[in-house]
Amino acid sequence: MSTNKAWQTPKNLLVLMSVAMTIGFATWMALLNNFVIEKAAFTGAEIGLLQSIREIPGFLAFTAVFVLLILKEQTFAYLSLALLGIGVAITGYLPSVFGLYFSTFIMSVGFHYYETLKQSLSLQWFSIDEAPAMLGKLIAASSAASLAAYSFLWLAMDQLGLSYRTIYLVGGSVCLCLTLFTWLAFPRFKSKTPQRKHLLMRKRYWLYYALTFMGGARRQIFTVFAGFLMVEKFGYSVSDIAALFIINHLFNWAFAGRVGALVGRIGERRALTFEYCGLFCVFTAYAFVNDATWAAGLYVADHLFFSLAIAIKTYFQKIADQADMASTASVAFTINHVAAVVIPALFGLVWLVSPMAVFLMGSGMSVLSLLLARNIPSAPSAGNEVLFGKVPYVEGIIGGRKGEFCALARNQLRLLSMAGCRAI
C-alpha cells in the first residue's frame, strides 16, 4: 500500500527539478555574454567556440543509456542536476578563456544529461492525452523560475552591486539545494513499461530524427547569436538583458500552458507548421533589424514560437514503442546536437564577416523544417508515422512479448524471413 503524500507525485517532482535546472542555467545564460566580454574579452569567434564546447555533452547524450545500466533514471537525473549546479557555482571563479571553457563543459554535462532524462521520464509518466498540456505546464514552471532568477539578477546588479562571482555562486547553490530537497523528499517512481537499456535507431522514426536534428541546428542560432546581438550591436547591459528575459518569461509563463493545450487540440502537424512559418519571419527580421526595441520584440516572439516544439515530443510519443523512450531520448539528444557542436564555432566565423548571413541561414533552416513538418499525418500512430517515406511496420508476439519488426527486403518472402529482427 502506498504511503506517498498527495504532493509526492511525478508531476510535482518534474516541476521542482525543472525549477532547479532553470535557476542554475538561467543564471549562467543571462550573465554569459556580458561576463565573457567584460572579463575575458571574447569576440564572436571565442563565444562560438565556447558554445560549441557547451554542446559537446549534448552530442554525447547517447551515453546516458549506458549509465542507466548502473543507475535508475530518477537517480541519474538528480546527479545530473547536482553537476549543473556545481558548474554554474564555479563559473565566476574562472574568468579566463580556458577557465570558462572548463566550467561551461562541467555545467553542460549536467544540463544535457538532465534534459535527456527529463524528456524520457515525462513521456513515460504522462499519458498521450495529458502529455501536451503537462509539457506546456513544465515550460510555464520553468518560465516562472526564470522570472525569479532574472528579477534577482536585475536586483543584484542594478541595486545591490553584487559581483559576477557572487551571483554565479548563488545561482549554482540554489540549484544544488533544490536538487537535494527533491532527492530526500520524493519516493522513487516506477515506470509502467521497463525501458530498453541499449542504443537503437528505428527506421520508422526517421521523421522524428530529422525534425530533432533541424531543431538543434536552428535553436543554436537563436541561443548563441540572438543574445550576443543584443550586447554587441545594441549595447545591452546585464540589467537590460535581465529585464528582457523577465519580459520574455512573463509571456512564456502566461502562455506556455495554453500552447501545450493548443498542440493537443490542433495536432502536431498544424502546430509545427505555425511554428516554422513564424520562425522564418523572425529570423529574417533579425537579419535586418536596426532598432533595439524591435530586436527585443523579436527575441520574445522567438521564444513563444519555440515553445511549440513540444509537438515534436508528443509526435514521437504517439508513434513510439513505450519501451523505447529512454534509449531514444538519448539518441535524439545526440542527433539534436550533431549540428549544435559545429554551428556555433562555424557560424561564429561567419558572424565576423556578416551577422546578417547568420540569421538568413536560420531562415533557410526554418523552411526546411516546415517541409518536414508537412509530412506528419493528421493522426500519427505506430504504423502511420509519415505521409511519404513509410517504413513497413509489423506487430506480433515473439517469446511472449510484443515486438516490432521491420523489413529491409524488397519482397514479401524476405520480409517473412527477417521477422523477429529489430530494425536498428
Residue 384 lies in a domain: no
Q: Does one domain contain both 108 and 68?
A: yes
| Confidence at residue 19, expressed as pLDDT on a 0 to 100 scale | 94
Residue 387 lies in a domain: no
Q: Which of 12-16, 266-270, 291-295 has the weakest average pLDDT?
A: 291-295
Render pLDDT for 114-154 as a digit per residue (tens, 0 to 9): 998 998 898 888 888 888 888 888 888 888 888 888 788 87
Overall pTM surpassing 0.85 (yes/no)? no
Q: Is residue 5 part of a domain?
A: no
Q: For the chain, how many structural domains are there in total?
A: 2
Cell of 302: 522567438
Residue 382 domain flag = no
2 is a domain residue: no
Do 245 and 368 lie in a common domain? yes
180 shares a domain with 324: yes
pLDDT of residue 99 exceeding 50: yes
290 and 180 part of one domain: yes
Average pLDDT, the chain: 83
Q: What is the pLDDT of residue 424?
A: 36
Instruction: Tell me what pLDDT residue 287 has.
Output: 92
| pLDDT of the residue at 133 | 83
Tens of pLDDT, residue by residue over 296-340, are 899 888 888 888 888 998 999 999 888 888 788 788 878 877 776
Instruction: Tell me which residue range forms the domain holding 401.
Output: 392-424
Are residues 111 and 193 located together in one domain of the fold?
yes
Which residue in the block uniquely carries the three cell numbers 509571456?
251
CATH of the domain at 248: 1.20.1250.20
| CA dist., res. 347 & res. 221, Å (int) | 8
Q: Does 288 share its domain with 413? A: no
CA 7 from chain centre, in angstroms, equals 26
Confidence of residue 398 (pLDDT cuts 50, 70, 90): very low
Comparing C-alpha atoms, which of 127, 40, 117, 133 is closest to residue 77? 117
Pair (298, 398) in one structural domain: no
Per-residue pLDDT tens digits for 233-284: 888 887 787 678 778 778 877 777 788 888 889 999 999 999 999 999 999 9
Q: Are residues 405 and 291 part of one domain?
A: no
pLDDT of 87 higher than 50: yes
